Structure 1
Amino acid sequence: MKTFSLFILAIGCAAVLFYGNMTWQEKTSSSSPPHPAKVEETGTEPDGEETADDKALIAHWPEKAQDTFLQDLKAKKPYKLALVGSTALGEEENGWSRQVKEELESTYGASLDVTIYEYDSTSIEFVNGEQAEEVLTDNPDLVLLEPFSLSDNSNLVGSKNNHESIQIFNRRLTEQNEDAVLILQPTHPIAGATYYPEQIEELQAFAEEQNIPYLDHWTAWPEDDETLADYVTENQEAPNEKGHVVWADYLLDYFIAE
């Protein structure tokens, strides 16, 4: 009888211990915080990590520019983009250059450094003076050049001189940085012009002949003169607010592929 009582007591103790252990595990498990969900980071920072998003954003860029951008990203080094041209850039009046700079830096973050270089100049004055030197001193990786086409037209500088100025600048750019890339774009269109559109056609043909990427934003502007007049200032020397938006949107579609 004594032996049987001890056997029953042992079974009871074991049951109490087992139940207590299970209760403790449930309490500790329920009181532990859940594993935090991973927060996806947005934007592109020069953190040395290349992602599929980085490649997608720069899909329209020249291949050489894409390669250098991704190399700089891995090296945690900002890629330098220079927006260069005449007063048609509208830097001081929220023109297309200002809009493009702000949107690109918002999208790419610290990975992209955008600088505006606006000059009241002809192409000859630009390349032979301190203005081109100012741009080159900053050692840009990519230069988007509006090569003073309308200013040259107004000051009787012909296409030949304009193209020679571009060649000189491009040579100096690549001599100091063999990985640098030049992209050309025309100045804005104007209403009622005859010789100026021919100069722009010659500029595009020159760019193709020299294998220089050319951004033809004229395709985004109204074609008829009456409507086009609503997109430029009264003297047609620069775009107005509507014109700057058209120009900026075209360039942003190029520099930010979606």
Structure 2
Amino acid sequence: MIVKNFLLTVLLLVSCVSFIIAGQLYWQKKIDDTVKQAMAEAPKQEAIENESKLMKYAAQLPSEVQEKIKNAIHTNHPVRLVIVGSEAISSSEKSWPALFKNELESTYGQQVFEVVVKEYGEMTTKEALEANVDKEIIDAKPDILLWEPFILNNNGVIEIEDTLQQIDTIIQNIQSALPDVTIMLQPPHPIYNARYYPSQVEQLQSFAKEKGYIYLDHWKAWPDYKSEELNDVVNENTDLPNERGHQLWADFLIDYFIAK
């Protein structure tokens, strides 16, 4: 009888210990699974929060550009922004493209925008067609093309009607090869007391609106072209933006691309 009771006690103890161990193992697994799930969800939550923050910066951009930015965030393949223009672009570290590029990368990060700058000096639109500049732009594979289309270089050389036709031909060639490219047009900088040039810029704006291209009217940010104050930001001898002019131009584009 004593032996029987002893065996029952041992069995009971073994059962209790087994139950306790099984319970501990069960709850440990539950805890481990919860921790693993939390660790797995943390990067996702961080990514969601990062996307939300970046998309707030893009809030005022056209929807097609916002979609490209969102895709860049998801895929880690940056939006390729190709800036094309005349000698007003400049390769200086204080030029508007450099200032603009630095601010884009600082705000969005280098995984969202990849900026490529192509400067064509005093080239006209006619010369651009003859030199196959459209093919060079296509080879750069822009997702967004920000083009200052040589209006000032054409001034006094090529009639505005021919200029717009040549611009249209270049864009059509680019869009034929890159149907998803976003076209953004912007004028060159203003010139003090110019006579015909402002009218040509107005016609460029009308052309962009008619064709459905995005037009970035940065002239709003400059002093009036009839005001001598313009000489404070545009060099009177070269008719090119000075350091302050480049900053002014860059600030306009920064404010357009980055909502704050």
- The code of the aligned residue for 1:216 comes to D
CA–CA separation in structure 1 for the residues paired with 2:187 and 2:212? 16
Counterpart residue identity of residue 241, structure 2:
P
1:197 is aligned to 2:198: yes
Q: Shift of residue 77 of structure 1?
A: 0.9
Give the aligned CA root-mean-square deviation in angstroms. Answer: 2.5
Q: How big is the shift at 1:107?
A: 1.7
| 1:41-100 alpha-carbon deviations (Å, 9 max, x no partner) | 9xx9xx798721222112222221221221232222111001110000122352111111
- Indicate the residue corresponding to 2:130 in structure 1: 128
Aligned to 1:99: 99
Give the corresponding residue for 2:15.
Answer: none
| 1:230 counterpart residue number | 232
Over 6 Å off, 4+ runs: 47-50
SS in 2 for 1:100: helix
SS state of the match for residue 117, structure 2? Answer: strand
1:73 maps onto 2:73 in alignment: yes
- Deviations for 1:96-132, whole angstroms, at most 9, x for unmatched residues? 1111112112222222100111111112212331433
Counterpart of 1:175 in structure 2 is 176
| Percent sequence identity over aligned pairs | 38
For the residues of structure 2 that align with 1:114 and 1:126, how far apart are their CA atoms? 21
Output the CA distance in 1 between the equivalents of 2:180 and 2:49.
21
SS in 2 for 1:87: coil
Check conservation: 2:134, 2:173, Cα contact below 8 A: no
Q: Which residue of 2 aligns with 1:244?
A: 246
The DSSP-based 3-state class of the residue aligned with 1:168 is: helix
**Alpha carbons 2:72, 2:79 under 8 Å: kept:** yes
Q: Which runs of 5+ in 2 are unaligned?
A: 1-41
Q: Mapping of 1:31-70 within 5 angstroms?
A: 51-70=51-70
1:141 corresponds in structure 2 to 143
Distance between the aligned counterparts of 2:74 and 2:245, measured in 1?
Answer: 37
TM-score, structure 2 normalization? 0.76
1:119 partnered with 2:150: no
CA distance in 2, matches of 1:237, 1:126: 22
Distance in 1 (CA, whole Å) between partners of 2:139 and 2:258 is 27
Inter-partner Cα distance in structure 2 for 1:48 and 1:159:
48
| 1:65 maps to amino acid | V
On the 8 A contact 1:190/1:236 being kept in 2, the answer is no
| Equivalent residues of 1:139, 1:176 under 8 A apart | no
Contact 2:149 2:167 in 1 (8 A): yes
- Counterpart code for 2:83: L
SS of equivalent residue, structure 1 residue 105 = helix
Cα distance in 1 for residues equivalent to 2:79 and 2:92? 24
Q: Which residue of 2 aligns with 1:257?
A: 259
Contact 1:79–1:141 (8 Å) recurs in 2: yes
Residue pair 2:135, 2:174 contacting (<8 A) in 1 also: no
Separation in structure 2 between the aligned mates of residue 60 and residue 124 of structure 1, nearest angstrom? 34
SS of 1:143's equivalent in the other structure is: strand
The DSSP-based 3-state class of the residue aligned with 1:192 is coil
Q: Aligned partners of 2:164, 2:57: CA distance in 1, in Å?
A: 31
Counterpart of 1:117, as a letter, is K
